[in-house]
Structure 1
Amino acid sequence: MDTKRLDLNLLATLEALLDEQNVTRAAARLHMSQPAVSAQLSRLRDLFDDPLLIPAHRGMIPTAKALELRSPLRLALDQVRDTLTTHQHFDPGQTSLTITLACTDYVQAAVGLPVINTLRRQAPGIRIGLRHLEPARLEAQMVRGEVDLAFMTPEEAPPTLRHRHLYNETYVLVGRPDHPRLFDGMTIGDYVQLEHVIVSLSGGHFSTPVDQALKVLGYSRNVVLSAASFLLIPGIVTQSDLVALVPQRLVRDRRDLKVVASPIESAGFSVGMVWNERNHAHPAQRWVRETIGQALQDVPVGLD
């Protein structure tokens, strides 16, 4: 390739075309006319000696060469963008930033609103997209720019991603307010005599790390129901004699539940922010992380 013919604008056009797979949408994204983008696509085909995008029934599909170029192209352009923006002043009051956050339903329910309110209060023009956390796909999603920041247990994050601890969460035991066998000061022996509902995010499992911890102590509990989300638990236990261990922040304001300390002292987990190196030095992304960190400082949440 003759690098003297290389034009960064062409590479930005290629990035948009690979993302949108449609000349019209790419033109709108780049604030260019459709004929201008088509002309640049012609130059790109000549430059790489490859069709790059082939017309299909709807839009266009990338060639093998285009797919090969996608990741290194995005990385190179992100490095250029970061270089240009690192020393720029960021004013949250004037930003029109769009940020995508990935998290579980628990995080959305427990801390999502304080995070959103804090960001919106300081940056009224910000747009926030929430999407479900997919740990197995997270690294690729961040490389493609589909997710800017994720909330999860840092130890479970891909090792190539950066992370920052936010807070420690504790499990509490919940049941209906008049549950006859749910009381403060329960022992593990009392606990395992109850019927339990657990949460299996992957679906249908009846064992969790709590069961492994109980096994070490010589106990086992009777798990009769496996739910797909922590958000389902309050409705289940208020209408039955079932009990459940749930994150404390999820139920701290519930008055329709009886909440007691977990008899298993080690029950809990940590929550942190996870992000890709591509966003690390970006002033706006850095401001978002710092603002969220301040909003979610690890303040103890005690039982009433």
Structure 2
Amino acid sequence: MDNLRRLDLNLLVTLDVLLSEHNVTRAARKLNFSQPSVSVHLAKLRDIFGDPLLLPGPRGMKPTARAEALREPLRQALEALGRAVSPSHPFEPSKADQTWRIAATDYGESTILLPALAGLRAAAPGTRLAVVEMIPARIAKQAELGEIDLAFHTSEGSPSGMRRRTLFAERYVLAGRAGHPRLGRRPTLKQFCALEHVLISPDGGGFHGVTDTALARVGLARRVTLSVPHFLFMVSVLHSTDLVAMLPARLVRGNPALKAVEPPVEVPGYEMAMLWNERSHRDPAHQWLREQIQKSVLEDGVRSTISTRTRL
């Protein structure tokens, strides 16, 4: 209690920013304080906590163990205090001017963002949307620091500690160009392995994927002749060559230039999820954005089902 009596809100806010920036100059700029003022705050905090909190390091300042332990409780306490002293207003999309930042791969852009874009623009024309490269190892930290609002990632392998909502389940189909001479019907396993395949390798240069793992279980291997990092380029390759690929079904549907058949080997699919940090979970604008994306995904799935039944 003695330490609590010696603290004031400005010191706690300064500490929160210092733990985020790891740099006195950047923290001062973010707080709109002078650098000496931030240094004075840091000296007081060190005295109150009996710990140096931040030590000089090769890339700015490095938090001590005590500082790391303070980081999340302090962030949650300040956010709770902010909610307590701020009046709650309903989000009005037609008057909003937010800039949302979303981390996604080209697959997430095509299957989640593209179907949602028209609805977002119509409902909230004053907002902006920035799509940034999705780097799985960084999304938890980016969301914690407020650098991104949402990320789209497979449920398996999603960072722990993030809020998550499953958007849809995806499966794989064997795809090639329309009129491909070997895709008139479902190929046998032997025919499948003899085809020349292109494979997605997000990290670059890999020639082994989930399909190869499934084939290895039955003592078989396919011919992977091309490895690419992006789905968009893969689709272009399929359009213009006789290469084939195991593609997520959502990337094939509605594309008259591609032909898809069921593969002769069972390859496990995956779930796509929307991820966000606890810090924005209760924000009305953020809640609205998440609901709009969820709604768009559901509507897109219904349209796809109706279209498939019509063709059948």
Per the normalisation by structure 2, the TM-score is 0.78
State the alpha-carbon separation in 1 of the partners of residues 177 and 215 from structure 2. 24
User: Deviation of residue 250 (structure 1)?
Assistant: 2.5
List per-residue Cα deviations over 1:79-131 (Å, max 9, x = no partner): 33355569542222333434332222211133322334433332234333323
User: Deviation of residue 272 (structure 1)?
Assistant: 1.8
Query: Which residue number corresponds to residue 272 of structure 1?
Result: 273
Within the alignment, does 1:130 sit opposite 2:131 as a pair? Answer: yes
Query: Which residue number corresponds to residue 146 of structure 2?
Result: 145
Which residue identity is paired with 1:164?
A: R
State the alpha-carbon separation in 2 of the partners of residues 3 and 222 from structure 1. 66
Which residue identity is paired with 1:229?
A: H
State the alpha-carbon separation in 2 of the partners of residues 68 and 291 from structure 1. 36
Which residue identity is paired with 2:259?
A: V
User: Deviation of residue 244 (structure 1)?
Assistant: 0.8
Which residue identity is paired with 2:104?
A: C
Secondary structure of 2:204 counterpart: coil
Secondary structure of 1:155 counterpart: coil
In structure 2, relative to structure 1, the CA distance for the partners of 1:170 and 1:286 (3 Å cut) is same
User: Deviation of residue 189 (structure 1)?
Assistant: 3.9
Within the alignment, does 1:100 sit opposite 2:101 as a pair? Answer: yes
Instruction: Give yes or no for contact 1:179–1:241 (8 Å, CA) kept in 2.
Output: yes
Within the alignment, does 1:288 sit opposite 2:266 as a pair? Answer: no
Secondary structure of 1:136 counterpart: coil
Which residue identity is paired with 2:233?
A: L
User: Deviation of residue 165 (structure 1)?
Assistant: 1.8
Query: Which residue number corresponds to residue 91 of structure 1?
Result: 92
Instruction: Give yes or no for contact 2:187–2:264 (8 Å, CA) kept in 1.
Output: no
In structure 2, relative to structure 1, the CA distance for the partners of 1:22 and 1:140 (3 Å cut) is closer
Q: How many residues align?
A: 302
Query: Which residue number corresponds to residue 227 of structure 1?
Result: 228
Secondary structure of 1:165 counterpart: strand
Over the aligned positions, Cα root-mean-square deviation in angstroms equals 3.5
Query: Which residue number corresponds to residue 165 of structure 1?
Result: 166
Instruction: Give yes or no for contact 1:18–1:66 (8 Å, CA) kept in 2.
Output: yes
Secondary structure of 2:289 counterpart: helix
User: Deviation of residue 52 (structure 1)?
Assistant: 5.7
Matches within 5 A, 1:242-253: 242-253=243-254
Matches within 5 A, 1:164-183: 164-183=165-184
Which residue identity is paired with 1:133?
A: M
State the alpha-carbon separation in 1 of the partners of residues 271 and 230 from structure 2. 18
Q: Which sections of structure 2, spanning at least 5 residues, go unmatched?
A: none
User: Deviation of residue 226 (structure 1)?
Assistant: 2.0
List per-residue Cα deviations over 1:51-85 (Å, max 9, x = no partner): 66689999x63553655543443233233335556
Per the normalisation by structure 1, the TM-score is 0.79
Query: Which residue number corresponds to residue 261 of structure 2?
Result: 261
In structure 2, relative to structure 1, the CA distance for the partners of 1:135 and 1:55 (3 Å cut) is closer
State the alpha-carbon separation in 2 of the partners of residues 21 and 211 from structure 1. 44
Which residue identity is paired with 1:260?
A: A
Secondary structure of 1:141 counterpart: helix
Instruction: Give yes or no for contact 1:85–1:283 (8 Å, CA) kept in 2.
Output: no
State the alpha-carbon separation in 1 of the partners of residues 55 and 7 from structure 2. 22
Instruction: Give yes or no for contact 1:196–1:225 (8 Å, CA) kept in 2.
Output: yes
User: Deviation of residue 292 (structure 1)?
Assistant: 0.9
Instruction: Give yes or no for contact 2:102–2:132 (8 Å, CA) kept in 1.
Output: yes
User: Deviation of residue 161 (structure 1)?
Assistant: 2.9
Q: What is the percentage of aligned positions where both structures have the same residue?
A: 42
Query: Which residue number corresponds to residue 9 of structure 2?
Result: 8
Query: Which residue number corresponds to residue 208 of structure 1?
Result: 209
List per-residue Cα deviations over 1:145-174 (Å, max 9, x = no partner): 333322122233234333222122233333
Q: Which moved more, 1:174-183 or 1:45-54?
A: 45-54
State the alpha-carbon separation in 2 of the partners of residues 83 and 186 from structure 1. 63
State the alpha-carbon separation in 1 of the partners of residues 186 and 88 from structure 2. 56
State the alpha-carbon separation in 2 of the partners of residues 98 and 151 from structure 1. 17
State the alpha-carbon separation in 2 of the partners of residues 127 and 5 from structure 1. 43
